[in-house]
Amino acid sequence: MTQKVVFLDRDGTINVDYGYVYKLSDLKLLPGAGEALKLFQENGFKLIIVTNQSGISRGFYTLTDAIKFNNALNTELGKYNVHIEEFFICTHAPEDKCICRKPSPVMVLEAIRKYHIDVGASYLFGDKLSDVECGENAGVASFLVTKDNSLLYWANLLIKQFI
């Protein structure tokens, strides 16, 4: 059985991006993010985050700090009855020239294999062109989240028109 999934970047897509976000005190959801994720989840989508966290490689914070932040994010989203299935994290900086950093599709492809994902029925959302390229490189329809086209905007549009 295949699963439909919404892949999401984290910072700037779900929560406010202050730059190298890892402090629990910096956890603030973007307007409508919880509602958008609930809408996707209620329509049968699993939610998976794929995130570049170069602050780890740069020594600004640790992988443990990032995991604590992700757990706190999941707790915050729980207020909307939303659950992130898994967080895929690239810990490398661009200069590390790793194979997993977006726009590489490696993290998305790993999730596709692990969760038997129906690529044609899944979506990816992010606030940077590298996020959109990542999804497109994996064969997943991808959308850019902006101030004018928030995650809630896309959720409402896709649920009403395509699902």
> Catalytic site residues?
9, 11
The DSSP call for residue 62 is -
Residue 90: strand, helix, or coil: strand
Element (H, E) at 156: helix 151-161
Q: How far apart are CA 163 and CA 157, in angstroms?
A: 9
Provide the residue type at 46 as one letter: K
Residue with structure tokens 């570049």?
52
The DSSP call for residue 119 is G
Residue 29: strand, helix, or coil: strand
First to last CA, the chain: 18
